[in-house]
Structure 1
Amino acid sequence: MHWKKHVTGLTFCFFFVPSYFTNKYVLSVLKFTYPTLFQGWQTLIGVLLLLLSGKLGWVEMSSFSRSAALSWLPGSLLFVGNIYAGSRALACLPIAFFFTLHNASEVVYVFMERLIKRDGFTEISGMKVISVSVVLLSAVSLPLHDPQFDQAGYTWGVIHLCSLGAYRVFQTHFKPNHLSVLLLVLAAHPTGDLFGAWKFPFLLSLRFQSGCCASALLGFFLLLATVKLKSGLASEQCNMWIFLSKVMAICLSPFVFISDVNTPSLACVVFSHIGEVLLVYSDRILR
């Protein structure tokens, strides 16, 4: 029924916004500068919950062969790069600015897709060109007008959008049939952060531990909600719910986090999301 689609979308929004807010709180407000350890903790909780969900029959899981794991290795590396760089960027940038850079991953995706396909750029629609151009110009202009320019944040943001765009291309050409824990397992790589993190003053605090647990739980349920959203709705409907979730997060973030935004940087954010709407509309026309 039609109302079930709205329930699925609203459920996705319900987990999307607090998930990003919790990650931002731990990485930015508490200034926990060890994202690999934070990611490893999230992975541990996520894998345990995923295995439990598989036992209870909530999700469909299957074993994978060594050859399948090796074939997914490039995608896993892109996934890890996407998450790590995204965490670094989110820690330094306001949520609105982070999503403006995040939207530019569509430019990388479209460019790489056109290079892979034989038709090159001849089959791309005019609306698609306009929308991608608006998103790209917004992302390029944002650092020039950011009143609190953070070079590290934007550097990690560029790495994030490139990794995300390339990962989407990989997903398009290699689609798994079942929900797999492979990416989650390979995402856990604390490395040297494990030793440096012991110097973190909030490591044993209730706020930090609660934030980490909440982030892991919200991330897991967001994963399930994303799978449900993409399996039950058409791609343009999924993209519209993702767009609405980001707009909700941007509108609510000033009430939770302090950020310095001026008129030009706000215009970059607005035009980026106008370009995103045009992207959704162009995909709908092509269908």
Structure 2
Amino acid sequence: MNVARGILVLIFCTLFIASYFTNKYVLSILKFTFPTIFQGWQTSTGALLLLVTWKLGLVEINGFSRSAAFSQLPGSFLFIGNIYAGSKALSLLPIPFFFVLQNVSEVFAFLMVAVTHREKSSWMKLLSVCMLLGSAASLILYNPRFGPSGYTWASVHLFCVGAYKVFQKNTKTSHLSDLEEQFMNYVISALLLVSLAYSTGDLTGALDFPLLTSYRFHTGCLGSAILSFCLMLATVKLKNSLPQELCGVWCFLAKVLASGLSLYTFNTVLSPVTLCCVILNYTGEALFVYSDRFR
């Protein structure tokens, strides 16, 4: 790996950890439990920043037809489900548990693609799928104190993440680039989430939030929006610079680093059983990534 790619990987991992930690801080430590407001703020900021960077010539977004935009609508709705349920789950679950359940989205996407494309799988892939499913099920069974709400929202999150991966794989014939897809996701999400904030009463609740005037709250929300946008750009750059299998390797390592550091940052205590579930899950993900790279 050359120096430029090494720097890109380092930036990606740093942004990945910082983004999840900032979101966790706002959602769990500050207890800002209004996902329509929080994600509406993040997506509207992301759309604005993407528009500004495009006008400045820092990123490339071409014009796209109405048919191409319409074809992205199902993906945008899945994106909304992803970020909304992800916020709810992250506010309730420790980061290692969140990633354990999120990793099951790989199983969901794999099974959907295997069924629709009738692809044969290696024994290594099947073993990794069993490890991912078994460890996630064991975590829920032997550590129920974060459920059912936390595990329910995590299940919705992993379903939307997996379905979005399948959607992307089956609709790559469209003429939308990754940034154009993300711009559509940002705009539609911001519009829908802002409207939901009024109808669900989240706006009223957010106005009564005790830390609304706190600099910690303002700094956390501003940092979460900027870091999420920068992580999106770094992820797109990583996907365009490295083979898909290598991208999976670095995403896996970023999750491991984030999980390990979160044990000290958020004072997370793992029992022997839950620690085994986490280790088994990450071993299964490593095997899953390995089988993709060396098939």
Return the TM-score normalized by structure 2.
0.93
Alpha-carbon distance in 2 for matches of 1:212, 1:156? 22
Take 2:178 and 2:251, find their aligned partners in 1: how far apart are those partners? 22
Give the whole-Å Cα distance in 1 for the aligned partners of 2:283 and 2:62: 40
- Structure 1 segments of 4+ aligned residues over 6 angstroms from their partners: none
Partner in structure 1 of residue 147 of structure 2: 150
Q: Does 1:269 align with 2:261?
A: no
Amino acid at match of 2:115: L
**Superposition pairs of residues 24-173 of structure 1, within 5 angstroms:** 24-117=24-117, 119=118, 123-146=120-143, 148-173=145-170
CA distance in 2, matches of 1:71, 1:93: 34
Q: Does 1:200 align with 2:200?
A: no
Separation in structure 1 between the aligned mates of residue 147 and residue 215 of structure 2, nearest angstrom: 30
Counterpart position of 2:226:
217
Look up the equivalent residue of 1:150 and give its one-letter code.
G
What's the secondary structure of 1:283's corresponding residue? Answer: helix
Is the 1:17–1:245 Cα contact (8 Å) retained in structure 2? yes
Give the match for residue 230 of structure 1. Answer: 239
Q: Distance in 2 between matches of 1:172 and 1:234?
A: 15
d(CA) in 2 for partners of 1:25, 1:148:
20
User: How far apart are 1:163 and its partner, in Å?
Assistant: 0.8
| Partner Cα distance (2:145, 2:283) in 1 | 24
Q: Name 2:188's counterpart in structure 1.
A: 186
> 1:184 is matched by which residue type in structure 2?
Y
Asked if the contact 2:104/2:133 (under 8 Å) is kept, the reply is: yes
Q: Where in structure 1 are there 5+ consecutive unaligned residues?
A: none
| Alpha-carbon distance between aligned partners in 2 of 1:285 and 1:13, rounded to the nearest angstrom | 23
Distance 1:209 1:178 in 2: 30
Indicate which of 258, 261, 269 corresponds to 1:260: 269
Q: CA deviation at 1:52?
A: 1.2
1-side partners of 2:96 and 2:133: how far apart?
15
1:135-168 per-position Cα deviation (integer Å, ceiling 9, x unaligned)? 1111111012227332100000011111100100
Indicate conservation of the 8 Å contact 1:147/1:262, yes or no: no
Amino acid at match of 2:151: Y
Distance in 2, matches of 1:58 and 1:259, equals 40
Aligned length: 283
* Post-superposition offset of 1:4: 2.1
For 1:183-219, what per-residue CA distance to the aligned partner results, in whole angstroms no more than 9, with x for missing partners? Answer: 0111121323222211211122111111000000100
CA distances 1:104-144 after superposition (whole Å, capped 9, x unpaired)? 10110011111211x25xx1111100011101111111012
What displacement does 1:246 show?
0.6
The letter of the residue matching 2:211 is F
Q: In the alignment, which of 255, 271, 276 is matched to residue 246 of structure 1? A: 255
Structure 1 contact 26–211 (Cα < 8 Å) conserved: yes
State how far apart, in whole Å, the 2-side matches of 1:2 and 1:201 are.
49
